[in-house]
Every structure is written in C-alpha cells, then in structure tokens.
C-alpha cells in the first residue's frame, strides 16, 4: 500500500468486516471475521442467540472480533500507520450496557496486558449481551410508548418511526422493567455504532445523530431527545440509585451532516497494530445509513435493494413521517433525511411465480428465470386493465396478512370491476407481480419527494383523492413527485428484465443504474472517513453529495435505462386501482 489510506468497518449481525481504500478510492485491503466460524466459543447461530422472541448477541464476541480483524490486516502485510482516518457502520438499534468502571477501563487500555476482551469483558459491561434488531419481545413496551405520546402517528411524527420491537427505546424500557438491577448498574448505554467508536477512541463517544433516530427516543425536528419519551422511561424506574437516562446516553448526540471528529485512535491500537497516533476516528453510523453513503445519492434519489426482501432507501429534504416507514436524519448531508421502506414480499414471491411458470413451460432447470424474464419484458402482454398483489407472507406496507388478489379494473377511473382467480395465463402474473411491487414502492416514495410539475398524459381525473396507508393525497401528487435517479442493488438487481420494468414504473426522471458492490456498508464507512478527513483540512467545505459525484467513476455503475416518460405514464393509470385494491384488503 502506497500513500495514505482510510478504513471502513462494518459490524453487522454475522460478521465484522474492515475495508481499506486509498486516496483514489481503490480498495487496497479487506479482512473479515465471521462470528460463528471464527469465534465458535460463543456458540452463536448466525451471530446471535435466540430464546423465544428474545434475540441478542454477546458483546465480548465483538471485542474479540476487533482484535482479530486488525491482526489479520497486520498478518496480511498492511502498514496501518498509513491509515489517516477511520469510520464505519453497525447493525442498527442494538444497545450495549456499560458499568461505571468502564470509563476508566477504556481510557487505560494497554497493549501487553491482554486483549480488548481480557481488559473489558468481565468488568466493563452491566449486561453481557446486546439486544439484536431481530428481537421481537417488546410488544408491551411499544404499546406503552405509543400510548404515552398519543398513538403511532404521533410517535412517527416525533421520532421518524412508529414504535418497533427492535428500536432501542422499547428495548431499554424492557430492561428498566424486567432487569432493574442491571439497568441501575448501567452507567452508560451506547448503540452498537458508538460502542465501536468508543472502543477505537478509548473513551466514551456520544451517539451519532442519524443512528440515534433508530431509538424511538430522539425528536427529529427538535434535534434533541424527546422529553415526554425520556420521562416515560425515567418514570418506569423502580429505584433511582444510578444516573439519569440522558446522562447514561452521554447527553445529546453528535450532530450528523458535519465532519466532526470523535477522537484519535487509542494508544492500545497504536502500540498493538502500528496505527499512527494522529489517526482520526469519525463517528460510526447505522448500516442502512452507511449504504446510502456508498453511492452518489442526492436529494430525490432512491436506492432499491432487491434482496430476499425489498428495501427502499431514499434521500429527501421533506420530513414527511408515516407509521409505515422510517425516517432518519441523513448521516452526511445537512437538512436531509433518509427514508426507509421495508417490504417482506420481494424475491420469494417472484420465485413462486417463476417456478409455477417453469412447470407450465416445461423448463426443468431449477431456478431458471428465462420464461419469467421473457414475460416481464413482453410489451405485447395486454395487462393494462389488470392488477394483482402477491403476498405469500404478511406484508408490512400495506399492513395486511398473507394474501393473493387479482383484479380487473376500469382503465379510465381505476374502479375495480371484478376479482378473478387467474389471468389469461401465468405470463401475466410474471409481468403483474413486478409491476405491482414497483408501483407499491412508487406510491410510498412519492410523498417523500420534492414536487416538480411535469407533463403527464393520463386522462384519469387528476383531482381524485387517493389513499395509501396513512396518506390521502390528490392523484397529481403522485405524478409530480418523481425520483431523479434510481439505483438497484441486491440479488435480483442482476436481473435486467426485473430492473428495467421496475425502473419504468418508478419513473426516475434522469437515469436508472445498478451496482454490484457486496460491501456497500463498509464502503460507505470508508467514504464517510475520507470525506470527513478531507473536510477538516480543506478551507472550502465540499458537500458530501458533490464529493461522491466528483469521485465516482461512471464505470462503477451500470446504466440500465434512461428516464422514460411514456412508459412511466402508462402506470399512472394503475395508481387509483392499487389504492382501491389495497383498501379492500383492510376490511
């Protein structure tokens, strides 16, 4: 490795990854510690312990992973003294409970007297495990928190999300109620992100503001912890021997959007792995937040992750919260937010139709997408008056149990004419599933985008009011708010037929790209480190979006299709029908 370089960590559920990039953003090193395989003594399954609804991870496993991943860098011959800045990403929502002694222990970490685990594991933590985002055990606490502020809508307005099992506030409330001794012994509570930053800096580092939005405790518009929510947790304490919740959380978070440094690397890492003692550490953020930092995403751009489930991430300057999705403060762009919409039914539902179609087409090759793709791309399949939703699993948006519904509708009004058991043939289902999945994303994304009046040709009554979830907007709102760019990632983004059709329905005005970077969270961490570091030494601050735009090579992204107004306009006619179909499921 030549000149300076930057490290990006990704502490996820199953592994700790660390990526090194040089000043040209080329990856020059990569090491991973897989928890189940490399640290079998913890006996975790996919990185976690399951006990009924309770899912948690051993904190000591993460301590060992940090030592191991850095040792692997050194063993691979990398000179860590060239690292000028570090940042990273972590699984969201998890929380780590530290004792009063932890502060001194962190500040006195020393090489030569043992590993991080030896020096911290037995005395620095009030709880040996951290609740994991897969935990489902806080239903009671979610209800109490929503009731205390006046319901899910108000909770979403304050904190960017309604109360969720995995969010940190309900998890802390459960510990207050069920493990009062442990709670009182917890002098400091960190998220996984500032656990990692604190470890590397050898001192407690406050929360990072963007990741703090995953707690159901932070008032996003006021930019401070919500007093009524913090008070509710305080009121649940059985005895108040320890410090206040706000003090445990290390006060208000470090402001996102600015390149504020968390500190320099602790002497422990300097002595043990050869880091330079000036090496800067910038606040770690959540994994989804780091993902949007890995691509040149700007205001009104969307990222669609076509994995097992479908996740839509988008950058917006509109604070339009809803109980159906999440809003977080953007980690690097001031006055912007990241929207996150999670669907359960993504690839699995498409695979079911693919398999049924392959049976009919006598295609015996397991998992072959050929017939499915032909149908999805076929403009001669006449499905303009067809609409269907395919939810083999209960869905999050809209919130309905598992169902499959096919309807025919009146093209000019969107009125549903008939529920049918089947369409002409299964090729219609292939085309309809991709279209309706994309249309569902489109109508949820629209209210979060900036309105930009443009041409549309649809003859349908444009002042018709359309209802999706908690939103009721005139139809025009869905025409005027379009993404600028769409980026497709995840397993099914390999499939051009799916991505092209998705792109047409979503209607990005500029272009649609796909990216095949398997390390997006760690890459986002590297870019955050690099941008933050360069900002500190430059007199003219560069906005993070511009920084990425300037540095991104066009070859890193594959252009799938340019914005196509005509193709997009065709789907305007299906919006009213989708709204009616979804509402018929709620009754």
Interface residues toward ligand ADP, by CB under 6 A: 307-308, 347, 351, 369, 490-492, 494-495, 498
Contact 475, 462 (CB under 8 A): yes
Comparing CB distances to ligand XUL, the nearer of 213 and 281 is: 213
d(C-alpha 260, C-alpha 281), whole Å: 9
Q: Candidates 138-146, 221-229, 284-292, 295-303 — which segment interacts with ligand XUL by CB under 6 A?
A: 284-292
The binder of 251, among ligand ADP, ligand XUL, none, by C-beta within 5 to 8 A per type, is none
CA angle 78, 82, 83 (to 5 degrees): 95
Q: Candidates 105-113, 253-261, 280-288, 457-465 — which segment interacts with ligand XUL by CB under 6 A?
A: 280-288
d(C-alpha 299, C-alpha 550), whole Å: 16
- Picking from 534, 483, 473, the residue whose alpha carbon sits closest to that of residue 505 is 483
SS3 301: coil
Comparing CB distances to ligand ADP, the nearer of 495 and 532 is: 495
Q: Is 162 in the site for ligand XUL (CB under 6 A)?
A: no
CA-only gyration radius of the chain, Å: 25
Angstrom CA distances, 449 to 315, 443, 455, 480, stand at 9, 11, 17, 9
- Picking from 166, 140, 172, 196, the residue whose alpha carbon sits closest to that of residue 245 is 172
Q: Least distance in Å: CB of 17 to ligand ADP?
A: 14
Q: Least distance in Å: CB of 474 to ligand ADP?
A: 35
Q: Which residue has the tokens 């703090």?
A: 212
In the stretch 46-85, what mask flags binding to ligand XUL with x, by CB under 6 A?
----------------------------------------
The binder of 92, among ligand ADP, ligand XUL, none, by C-beta within 5 to 8 A per type, is ligand XUL
Site for ligand XUL in 108-147 (CB under 6 A): 133
Comparing CB distances to ligand XUL, the nearer of 133 and 369 is: 133
The binder of 446, among ligand ADP, ligand XUL, none, by C-beta within 5 to 8 A per type, is none
Comparing CB distances to ligand ADP, the nearer of 333 and 349 is: 349
The binder of 495, among ligand ADP, ligand XUL, none, by C-beta within 5 to 8 A per type, is ligand ADP
Angstrom CA distances, 141 to 158, 166, 216, 410, stand at 17, 11, 11, 45
Q: How do strand 337-343 and strand 310-316 relate by DSSP bridges? A: antiparallel
Contact 395, 345 (CB under 8 A): yes
The binder of 483, among ligand XUL, ligand ADP, none, by C-beta within 5 to 8 A per type, is none
Comparing CB distances to ligand XUL, the nearer of 92 and 322 is: 92
Q: Is 92 in the site for ligand XUL (CB under 6 A)?
A: yes
Comparing CB distances to ligand XUL, the nearer of 64 and 135 is: 135
The binder of 159, among ligand XUL, ligand ADP, none, by C-beta within 5 to 8 A per type, is none
Comparing CB distances to ligand ADP, the nearer of 16 and 492 is: 492
Q: Which of 44, 87, 91, 285 binds ligand XUL (CB under 6 A)?
A: 91
Q: Least distance in Å: CB of 161 to ligand XUL?
A: 8
d(C-alpha 544, C-alpha 330), whole Å: 11
Comparing CB distances to ligand ADP, the nearer of 347 and 579 is: 347
Contact 220, 327 (CB under 8 A): yes
The binder of 166, among ligand ADP, ligand XUL, none, by C-beta within 5 to 8 A per type, is ligand XUL
The binder of 308, among ligand ADP, ligand XUL, none, by C-beta within 5 to 8 A per type, is ligand ADP
SS3 550: helix
What does the chain come to in residues? 587
Q: Least distance in Å: CB of 351 to ligand ADP?
A: 5
Task: Return the DSSP state at 40.
Answer: G
Greatest alpha-carbon span in the chain = 76
Q: Least distance in Å: CB of 447 to ligand XUL?
A: 20
Q: Which residue has the tokens 């979830």?
A: 469
The binder of 165, among ligand XUL, ligand ADP, none, by C-beta within 5 to 8 A per type, is none
User: What count of Cα atoms within 13 Å lies in the side-chain half-sphere of residue 482?
Assistant: 27
DSSP structure string for 281-334: E---EEHHHHHHTTTT--TT-EEEEESSSEEEEEEES-----TTSEEEE-SSST
Q: Which of 159, 197, 288, 373 binds ligand XUL (CB under 6 A)?
A: 288
The binder of 133, among ligand ADP, ligand XUL, none, by C-beta within 5 to 8 A per type, is ligand XUL
Q: Is 93 in the site for ligand XUL (CB under 6 A)?
A: yes
The binder of 351, among ligand XUL, ligand ADP, none, by C-beta within 5 to 8 A per type, is ligand ADP
Backbone angles phi, psi at 213, to 5 degrees: -70, -5
Contact 399, 585 (CB under 8 A): no
Q: Candidates 90-98, 200-208, 397-405, 409-417 — which segment interacts with ligand XUL by CB under 6 A?
A: 90-98
d(C-alpha 453, C-alpha 300), whole Å: 14
Report helix angle 496-506 to 426-445, nearest 10.
50
Q: Which of 56, 211, 287, 395 binds ligand XUL (CB under 6 A)?
A: 287
- Picking from 119, 110, 399, 441, the residue whose alpha carbon sits closest to that of residue 266 is 110
- Picking from 21, 148, 131, 13, the residue whose alpha carbon sits closest to that of residue 83 is 21
The binder of 12, among ligand XUL, ligand ADP, none, by C-beta within 5 to 8 A per type, is ligand XUL
Q: Is 383 in the site for ligand XUL (CB under 6 A)?
A: no
The binder of 431, among ligand ADP, ligand XUL, none, by C-beta within 5 to 8 A per type, is none
d(C-alpha 218, C-alpha 210), whole Å: 10
Comparing CB distances to ligand ADP, the nearer of 351 and 471 is: 351
d(C-alpha 355, C-alpha 367), whole Å: 7
Q: Least distance in Å: CB of 90 to ligand XUL?
A: 8
Token pair for residue 78?
A: 């990398």
SS3 573: coil
- Chain positions contacting ligand XUL, by CB under 6 A: 12-13, 91-93, 133, 166, 286-288
């Amino acid at each position: 490795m030549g000149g300076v370089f930057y490290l990006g960590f990704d502490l996820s559920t199953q592994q700790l990854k660390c990526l090194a990039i040089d000043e040209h953003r080329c990856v020059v090193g990569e090491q991973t510690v897989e928890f189940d395989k490399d640290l079998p003594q913890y006996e975790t399954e996919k990185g976690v312990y399951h006990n009924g609804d309770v899912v948690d991870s051993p904190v000591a496993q993460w301590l060992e992973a940090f030592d191991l991943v850095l040792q692997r860098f050194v063993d691979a011959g990398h000179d860590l003294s060239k690292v000028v800045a570090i940042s990273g990403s972590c699984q969201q929502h998890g929380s780590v409970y530290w004792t009063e002694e932890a502060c001194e222990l962190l500040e006195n970490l020393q090489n030569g007297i043992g590993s991080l685990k030896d020096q911290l594991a037995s005395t620095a933590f009030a709880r040996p495990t951290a609740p994991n985002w897969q935990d489902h055990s806080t239903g009671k606490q979610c209800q109490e928190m929503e009731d205390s502020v006046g319901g899910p809508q108000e909770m979403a307005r304050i904190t960017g999300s309604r109360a969720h099992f995995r969010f940190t506030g309900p998890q802390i409330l459960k510990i207050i109620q069920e493990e009062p001794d442990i709670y009182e012994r917890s002098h400091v509570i960190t998220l996984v992100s500032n656990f990692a930053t604190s470890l590397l800096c050898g001192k407690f580092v406050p929360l990072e503001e963007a990741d703090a939005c995953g707690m159901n405790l932070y008032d996003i518009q006021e930019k401070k912890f919500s007093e009524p929510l913090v008070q509710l947790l305080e009121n649940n304490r059985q005895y108040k021997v320890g410090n206040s919740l706000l003090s445990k959380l290390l006060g208000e978070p470090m402001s996102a959007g600015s390149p504020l440094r968390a500190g320099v690397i602790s002497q422990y890492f300097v002595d043990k792995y050869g880091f330079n003692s000036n090496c800067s550490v910038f606040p770690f953020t959540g994994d989804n937040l780091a993902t949007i930092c890995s691509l040149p995403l700007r205001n009104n751009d969307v990222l669609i992750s076509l994995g097992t489930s479908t996740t839509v991430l988008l950058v917006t300057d509109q604070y339009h919260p809803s109980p159906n999705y999440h809003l977080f403060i953007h980690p690097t762009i001031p006055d912007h937010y990241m929207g996150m919409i999670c669907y359960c039914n993504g690839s699995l539902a498409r695979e079911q139709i693919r398999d049924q179609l392959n049976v009919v087409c006598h295609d015996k090759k397991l998992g072959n997408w050929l017939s499915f793709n032909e149908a999805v791309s076929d403009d001669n399949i006449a499905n303009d008056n067809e609409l269907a939703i395919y939810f083999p699993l209960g869905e999050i948006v809209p919130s309905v149990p598992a169902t499959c519904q096919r309807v025919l509708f009146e093209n000019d009004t969107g009125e549903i004419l008939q529920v049918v058991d089947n369409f002409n043939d299964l090729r219609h289902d292939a085309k309809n599933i991709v279209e309706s999945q994309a249309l569902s994303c489109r109508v949820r994304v629209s209210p979060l985008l900036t309105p930009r009046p443009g041409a549309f040709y649809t003859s349908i009554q444009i002042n018709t009011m359309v209802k999706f979830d908690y939103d009721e907007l005139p139809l025009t709102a869905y025409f005027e708010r379009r993404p600028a760019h769409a980026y497709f990632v995840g397993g099914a983004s390999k499939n051009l037929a799916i991505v092209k059709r998705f792109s047409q329905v979503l209607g990005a005005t500029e272009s649609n790209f796909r990216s095949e970077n398997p390390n997006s969270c760690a890459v986002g961490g590297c870019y955050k480190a690099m941008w933050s570091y360069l900002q500190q030494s430059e007199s003219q601050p560069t906005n993070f979006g511009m920084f990425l735009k300037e540095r991104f090579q066009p070859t890193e992204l594959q252009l799938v299709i340019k914005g196509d107004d005509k193709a997009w306009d065709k789907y305007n006619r299906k919006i009213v029908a989708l709204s009616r179909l979804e509402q018929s499921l709620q009754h």
